[in-house]
């Protein structure tokens, strides 16, 4: 029983010291931003969603790792307005449209 009391006391002291250190340290605060939507993936579906949301002036965050599974594909199909284009061209156009809004 004495062991657990000592362990609890040392845990409380450690947490108290950590709080004091964290309070004194100068860590910059990140800006707080609210998003209407968060799109995961910058492929055709993600960029299509981003483009549609940007057109209606929504605040959107796009998260993407930069790797495209359709990179070696010669042509895309079944994307309205972009049937038969190369995937890289579609990404370029979607980003251009997003920047202009």
Which tokens in the block code for residue 94? 């979607």
Residue 66: inside a domain, yes or no?
yes
User: Is residue 62's pLDDT more than 80?
Assistant: yes
Domain containing residue 89: CATH number: 3.50.50.60
Per-residue pLDDT at 21: 52
Residue 18: inside a domain, yes or no?
no
Residue 27: inside a domain, yes or no?
no
Cβ-contact 38, 63 below 8 angstroms: yes
pLDDT top residue among 65 and 44: 65
- Percentages helix, strand, coil for the chain (3-state, rounded to 5) are 50, 10, 45
State the average pLDDT over residues 90-97. Answer: 88
Q: Which of 84, 89, 98, 49 is closest to 68 using CA atoms?
A: 89
β-pairing, 37-40 with 60-63?
A: parallel
pLDDT top residue among 23 and 62: 62
Instruction: Detail the DSSP E strand segments found in 6-93.
Output: 37-40, 60-63
Per-residue pLDDT at 11: 46
């Amino acid at each position: 029983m004495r062991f657990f009391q000592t362990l609890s006391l040392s845990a409380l002291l450690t947490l108290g010291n950590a709080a004091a250190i964290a309070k004194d340290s100068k860590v910059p605060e990140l800006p707080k931003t609210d998003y209407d939507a968060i799109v995961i993936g910058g492929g055709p579906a993600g960029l299509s969603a981003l483009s549609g949301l940007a057109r209606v002036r929504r605040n959107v965050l796009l998260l993407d790792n930069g790797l495209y599974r359709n990179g070696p594909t010669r042509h895309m199909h079944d994307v309205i307005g972009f049937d038969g284009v190369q995937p890289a061209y579609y990404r370029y156009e979607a980003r251009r449209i997003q920047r202009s809004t």
